[in-house]
């Protein structure tokens, strides 16, 4: 008797049974494989959460007896340290006398690197301004390539695409000299202006713009719209999901930027004297040879840098995955 | 104003000589095929209705006051269309051509293009195009290093200094820079550069195949399940949205050399002695393992996502057909999934090989606690697993021309990888 399972037909009962055994054993294997690698992916995150909540002395003790993946007495001590609220031995910094403060500095219980509030503020300013500039320039340039006719359009576009292949190091070597020449070291200008134009996003948005039917353009011409009115009233609303994707990816890129900020914003502002580090290089600065016994503090630093990203991911998962898989196919 | 509708041409074509391009746009927007000198693309607009219906629509549009300028001409235009359409029975679509006097139309677009491109182009020229050329030139100037620290446009400053020298020594002509391949020669004789190329090469040929194969398996498995698929997909995607430095530091702590450290504790279950992984005294093999593990962890998310989107576009019929033919799972994977996924596999191979040759952040984030603190590449000298990009940054300050030469070499490596893989794709990829 023919039997139907999973939209398939089998010649007889025996063939069906054989298929079923194969099916379920492969299911078990697949879920085992996925779970194993899933655990491998999750482990650093779990380790980070748990370790950042451990008291430093408990973790040091565990290092010689076996680190546990559970925390029995969670504490926010590590977070208070990296935000510069308490010293490493738990005294509130605001309540220290000048002498105690000096002593704590000498003993290395306070560090100028424990300044994550400032890092967050810097990164917020950097991400906001550079994303705004990225979106504006990307929309305009993508519009020019998708809709306007001008001499040398295809040649210019080919040059831009070819430029995407050039390793960033070639630019960074010269850009560093340029930034120094402008006196932009340790300023937001130096951080933002060199990198905010993204050829990749221009290309990506142009692809979206190109799918907008011509009839809309012609109809808008009839209604007497100019090119820029058409961009503002028709193209941007239609391509809004793509622009959202670009915005999110750009904010995430700013949050994760390391190489360039590490070169040009690793000190204090030339005029205002405030710390110019962003979260990535700020985090790197607490990572040093003397960090033995500061593992939990470093992990807390990783935690506060990672948490906002995970939050953005949970909120905008659809947009992020869409953007990346698109770019994956169209290259 | 000359407005003429030429009806004596071949019935399949109409030529209008008009000055108002909006009529043309309008006709096309209602489904007519047409050409206008500047608008070759517009011929792609395909009619959705019959011509009769379209002409009716145009009539209605006119009567309802949709088109206000030069109503009279528009009415004549439609009437003409209508007449010739009736002759043909209204069944066929004709192509018509609009001949318009050349106006400042193109100039207008050009001006708008300049406005639209200017913001991006200013910064691209200053911080992308100029640096590429500048770095390229510097890499061929032998004695460039003496101009370091001047902190100006590097190459302009260099020539300014040359003229300054000739001014000081009045009467002497400015010294000419020594052009040549000396910087490249220096780099290739520098053991740390050749070592960096070797290191990067070894890491690439281990990390790329490993992560591609695991990602492909995960993607195929994810695609074959329904229960919990979304959950697993989210989990496997998480590494993509994390900060490389932050998680690198977490890995570095998990790779602790203490007997109770995460990895040592785990290996202890199998009777392995505690090892040094990312410290100064770690062996090259051990630190290499740490780099490979972290990079595989870090790079799988993107690959899985690309493979998943590729798998979802494969027609299910192929699988049904092969199953009817009695193919087993492995044969299906090898004969159907891999060939049909070959565009994505090629794309991933190119991007991840190039990405792997640019490896930098994911290495230094592991070795912050070895010799020279942040910026170490492992080992007691901090150079154990120095990568090509690492070499470039290490020489950026004191030997700018050498770093430039290194970055040009990196560019060539990237080009060669792309060309090789393009050649392979001609033979092996099924589109």
3-state SS of chain B? CCCEEECCCCCCEEEEECCCHHHHHHHHHCCCEEEECCCHHHHHCCCCCCHHHHHHHHHHHHHCCCCCCCHHHHHHHHHHHHHHHHHCCCCCCCEEEEECCCCCHHHHHHHHHHHHHHHHHHHHHHHHHHHHHHHHHHCCECCHHHHCCCCCCHHHHHHHHHHHHHHHCCCCCCCCCCECCHHHHHHHHCHHHHHHHHHHHHHHHHHHHHHHHHHHHHHHHHHHCCCCHHHHHHHHHHHHHCCHHHHHHHHHHHCCCCCCCHHHHHHHCCCCCCCCCCCCCCCHHHHHHHHHHHHHHHHHHHHHHHHHHHHHCCCHHHHHHHHHCCCCHHHHHHHHHHHHCHHHHHHHHHHHHHHHHCCCHHHHCCCCCCCCCCCCCCCCCCCCCCCHHHHHHHHCCCCHHHHHHHHHHHHHHHHHHHHHHHHHHHHHCCC
Question: Cα distance from A149 to chain B (closest Cα, Å)?
Answer: 6
The answer to whether the Cβ–Cβ distance between B369 and A222 falls below 8 Å is: no
Bridging pattern class, strands B95-99 and B13-17 = parallel
Stated length of chain B = 431
CA dist., res. B353 & res. B143, Å (int): 34
Residue spans of chain A under pLDDT 50: 1-5, 328-331
Interface contact B127-A295, CB threshold 8 A: no
Distance of CA A294 to the CA centre of its chain: 25
On whether the CB atoms of residues B11 and B81 are closer than 8 A, the answer is: no
Q: What is the token pair recorded at B254?
A: 């998990």
* Contact between B251 and A224 using a beta-carbon 8 Å cutoff: no
Residues of A in contact with B130 (CB under 8 A): 174
Domain spans of chain A? 3-52, 118-330
Q: Is some CB atom of chain B closer than 8 A to the CB atom of A259? A: yes
**C-beta neighbour count of B63 within 10 angstroms:** 10
CA distance A109 to A88: 5
Mutation for A interface: B98, B131, B313, most A CBs within 10 A:
B131
pLDDT in tens, A208-263: 898 888 888 888 877 778 888 889 988 999 999 899 999 998 999 999 999 999 98
Nearest-by-Cβ selection for B25 from A176, A221, A280: A221
Of B21, B138, B259, the CB nearest to A64: B259
The answer to whether A191 touches A133, Cβ cutoff 8 Å, is: no
Per-domain residue ranges of chain B? 4-103, 106-168, 184-428
Q: What percent of chain B has pLDDT over 70?
A: 67
Q: Give the model's pLDDT for residue B48.
A: 46
Does residue B292 belong to the interface with chain A, where contact is any CB pair within 8 Å?
no
Query: In terms of CA atoms, which chain B residue is nearest residue A310?
Result: B241
Token readout for A99 is: 């002498």
Task: Answer whether B333 touches A (CB < 8 Å).
Answer: no
- Which residue is closest to A27 within chain B, CA to CA? B225
B257 in reach of chain A (CB within 8 A): no
Residues in chain A with CB shorter than 8 Å from the CB of B42 are 214, 218
Comparing alpha-carbon positions, the chain A residue that sits nearest to B43 is: A214
Contact between chains at B241 and A312 (C-beta distance less than 8 A): yes
* B305 touches A at CB < 8 Å: yes
A331 to B126: CB separation less than 8 angstroms, yes or no: no
Mean pLDDT, residues B229-254 taken together: 92
Q: Is there a contact between A325 and B306 if contact means CB atoms under 8 Å apart?
A: yes
Which of A138, A222, A302 lies nearest to residue B26, judging by beta carbons? A222
* C-alpha separations of B194 from B138, B343, B394 in Å: 21, 33, 14
A171 and B131: CB-CB below 8 Å?
A: yes
- Predicted pLDDT at A2: 44
Calpha distance B371→A161 (Å, rounded): 41
Q: Rounded distance, CA B218 to CA B348, Å?
A: 15
Task: Look up the ipTM and state it.
Answer: 0.90
Res. B91 pLDDT band, cuts 50 70 90 = low
CB contact under 8 A, A284 and B347: no
Chain B residues whose beta carbon lies within 8 Å of the beta carbon of residue A258: 244-245, 361
Nearest to A197 among B124, B249, B306 (CB): B124
3-class SS of residue A92 = strand
Pick the CATH number of B184-428 from 3.30.1240.10, 3.20.20.140, 1.10.3720.10, 2.160.10.10: 1.10.3720.10
Report H helices in A72-231.
77-82, 98-106, 116-147, 153-163, 168-182, 188-193, 199-210, 214-222, 227-230
Q: How far is A249 from chain B (nearest CA, A)?
A: 9
Residue B355 near residue B299 (C-beta atoms within 8 A): yes
Topology at the third CATH level for domain A118-330: MetI-like fold (1.10.3720)
Helix axes A295-330, B284-312, angle to 10 degrees: 40
Two tokens, residue A51: 């370790």
Size of interface A-B (CB pairs under 8 A): 322
Residue B104: band (very low, low, confident or very high) from pLDDT cuts 50, 70, 90: very low
Closest to A210 (Cα-Cα) out of A166, A130, A153, A136: A153
What long-range pairs does B381-386 form, CB within 8 A, spacing at least 24? B383/B192, B383/B195, B384/B282, B384/B284, B384/B287, B385/B199, B385/B203, B385/B284, B385/B287, B385/B288, B385/B291, B386/B192, B386/B195, B386/B196, B386/B199
What mean pLDDT, rounded, does chain B reach? Answer: 77
User: In terms of CA atoms, which chain B residue is nearest residue A185?
Assistant: B151
Q: What is the pTM of this model?
A: 0.81
Residue A171 near residue B125, CB atoms below 8 Å? no
* Cβ-based contacts of A21 with chain B (< 8 Å): none
Give the residue with greater pLDDT, B161 vs A56: A56
What's the pLDDT score for residue A276?
Answer: 92
DSSP state of A88: T
**CB-based contact A218 B306, cutoff 8 Å:** no
Tell me: the pLDDT tens digits for A281-304? 888 888 765 556 788 999 999 999
Test B392 with A258 for CB contact under 8 angstroms: no
Q: What is the pLDDT of residue B279?
A: 83
Q: Would you state the pLDDT for residue A328?
A: 42
User: Is B347 in contact with A328 (CB distance < 8 Å)?
Assistant: yes
pLDDT for position B227 = 86
pLDDT at B14: 47
CB contact under 8 A, B250 and A151: no
What is the distance between the alpha carbons of residues B121 and B119, in angstroms, rounded to a whole number? 6
Q: What string of H, E and C letters represents the secondary structure of A203-230?
A: HHHHHHHHCCCHHHHHHHHHCCCCHHHH
Q: For residue B68, is pLDDT > 90? A: no
Which among A141, A163, A291 has the least Cβ separation from residue B120? A141
Minimum mean pLDDT range among A307-316, B16-25, B52-61, B244-253: B16-25
CB atoms within 10 A of CB B282: 23
Out of A204-208, B67-71, B77-81, B327-331, which region has the weakest mean confidence (pLDDT)?
A: B67-71
Q: Which two tokens stand for residue B93?
A: 């679509």
Residue B392 CA to residue B192 CA, distance in Å, equals 11
- Widest CA span in chain B: 96
Residues of A in contact with B396 (CB under 8 A): 172-173, 176, 263
CB contact under 8 A, B123 and A289: no
Of B152, B235, B236, Cβ closest to residue A181? B152
pLDDT confidence of residue B41:
39
Least confident of A17-26, B111-120, B209-218, B232-241: A17-26
pLDDT, tens digit, 9 for 90 and up, residues B346-381 = 889 988 999 999 999 999 999 876 555 557 888 888
Burial class (CB in 10 A: 0-12, 13-18, 19+), B240: buried
Q: What is the mean pLDDT of residues B61-89?
A: 64
Cβ pair B238:A195 closer than 8 A:
no
| CA B108 centroid distance within chain | 32
Residues of chain B found within 8 Å of residue A150, distances taken between Cβ atoms: 109-110, 113-114
Which of A119, A218, A231, A310 would you mutate first to test chain B, the one with the most B CBs within 10 A?
A218
Identify which has the larger pLDDT, B40 or A222.
A222
Is residue B332 over pLDDT 50?
A: yes
Chain A, residues 56-95, CB within 8 A of chain B, namely 62-67
Contact A141 B117 (CB under 8 A): yes
Long-range residue pairs from B352-356, CB within 8 A, at least 24 positions apart, any chain: B352/B208, B352/B211, B352/B212, B352/B299, B352/B303, B353/B204, B353/B208, B353/B417, B353/B421, B354/B414, B354/B417, B354/B418, B355/B299, B356/B200, B356/B203, B356/B204, B356/B207, B356/B208, B356/B295
């Amino acid at each position: 008797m023919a039997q139907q399972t999973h939209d398939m037909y089998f010649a007889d009962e025996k063939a069906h049974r054989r298929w079923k055994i194969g099916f379920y054993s492969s299911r078990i294997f697949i879920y085992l494989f996925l779970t194993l690698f899933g655990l491998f992916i999750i482990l650093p995150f779990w380790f980070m959460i748990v370790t950042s909540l451990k008291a430093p002395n408990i973790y040091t003790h565990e290092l010689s007896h076996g680190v546990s993946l559970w925390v029995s007495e969670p504490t926010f001590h590590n977070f208070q340290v990296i935000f510069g609220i308490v010293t490493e031995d738990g005294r509130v910094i605001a309540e220290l006398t000048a002498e105690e403060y000096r002593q704590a500095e000498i003993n290395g219980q306070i560090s100028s690197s424990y300044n994550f509030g400032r890092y967050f503020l810097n990164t917020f300013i950097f991400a906001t301004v550079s994303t705004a500039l990225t979106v504006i320039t990307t929309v305009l340039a993508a519009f020019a390539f998708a809709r306007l006719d001008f001499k040398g359009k295809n040649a210019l576009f080919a040059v831009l695409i070819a430029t995407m292949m050039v390793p960033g190091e070639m630019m960074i070597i010269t850009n560093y000299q340029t930034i120094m020449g402008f006196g932009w070291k340790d300023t937001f200008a130096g951080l933002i202006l060199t990198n905010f134009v993204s050829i990749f996003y221009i290309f990506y948005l142009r692809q979206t713009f190109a799918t907008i039917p011509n009839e809309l353009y012609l109809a808008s011409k009839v209604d007497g719209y100019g090119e820029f009115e058409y961009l503002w009233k028709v193209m941007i609303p239609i391509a809004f999901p793509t622009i959202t994707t670009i915005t999110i990816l750009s904010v995430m890129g700013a949050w994760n930027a390391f190489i360039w900020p590490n070169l040009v914003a690793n000190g204090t502002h030339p005029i205002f004297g405030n710390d110019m580090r962003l979260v990535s290089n700020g985090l790197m600065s607490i990572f040093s040879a003397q960090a033995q016994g500061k593992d939990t503090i470093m992990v807390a630093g990783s935690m506060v840098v990672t948490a906002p990203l995970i939050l953005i991911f949970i909120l905008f998962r659809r947009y992020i995955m869409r953007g990346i898989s698109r770019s994956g196919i169209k290259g | 104003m000359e407005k003429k509708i030429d009806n004596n041409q071949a019935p399949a074509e109409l030529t209008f000589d008009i000055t108002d391009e909006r009529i043309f746009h309008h006709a096309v927007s209602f489904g007519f095929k047409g050409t206008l000198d500047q608008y070759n693309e517009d011929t792609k607009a395909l009619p959705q209705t019959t011509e009769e219906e379209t002409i009716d629509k145009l009539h209605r549009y006119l009567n309802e006051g949709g088109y206000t300028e030069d109503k009279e001409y528009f009415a004549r235009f439609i009437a003409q269309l209508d007449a010739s359409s009736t002759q043909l029975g209204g069944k066929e679509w004709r192509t018509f051509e609009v001949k318009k006097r050349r106006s400042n139309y193109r100039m207008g677009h050009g001006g708008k293009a300049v406005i639209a491109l200017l913001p991006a182009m200013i910064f691209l020229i200053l911080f992308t195009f100029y640096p590429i050329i500048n770095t390229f030139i510097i890499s061929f100037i032998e004695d460039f290093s003496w101009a370091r620290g001047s902190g100006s446009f590097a190459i302009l400053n260099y020539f300014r200094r040359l003229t300054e020298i000739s001014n000081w020594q009045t009467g002497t002509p400015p010294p000419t820079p020594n052009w040549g391949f000396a910087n490249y020669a220096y780099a290739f004789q520098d053991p740390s550069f050749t070592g960096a190329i070797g290191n990067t090469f070894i890491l690439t040929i281990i990390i790329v195949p490993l992560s591609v194969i695991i990602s492909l398996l995960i993607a195929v498995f994810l695609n074959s399940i329904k229960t919990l698929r979304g959950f697993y997909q989210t989990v496997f995607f998480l590494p993509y949205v994390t900060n490389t430095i932050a998680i690198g530091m977490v890995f570095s702590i998990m790779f602790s050399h203490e007997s109770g450290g995460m990895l040592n504790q785990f290996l202890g279950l199998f009777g392995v002695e505690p090892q040094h992984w990312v410290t100064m005294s770690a062996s090259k093999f051990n630190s290499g393992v740490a780099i490979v593990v972290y990079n595989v962890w870090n790079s799988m998310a993107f690959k899985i996502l690309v493979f998943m989107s590729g798998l979802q576009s494969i027609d299910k019929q192929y699988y049904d057909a092969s199953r009817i033919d009695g193919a087993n799972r492995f044969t299906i994977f090898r004969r159907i999934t891999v060939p049909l996924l070959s565009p994505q596999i090629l794309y991933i191979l190119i991007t991840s090989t190039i990405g792997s040759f640019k490896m930098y952040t994911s290495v230094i984030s592991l070795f912050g606690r070895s010799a020279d603190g942040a910026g170490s590449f492992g080992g007691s000298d901090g150079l154990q697993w120095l990568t090509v990009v690492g070499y470039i940054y290490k020489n950026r300050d004191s030997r700018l021309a050498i770093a430039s030469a290194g970055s040009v070499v990196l560019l060539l490596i990237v080009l060669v990888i792309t060309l090789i893989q393009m050649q392979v794709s001609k033979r092996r990829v099924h589109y």
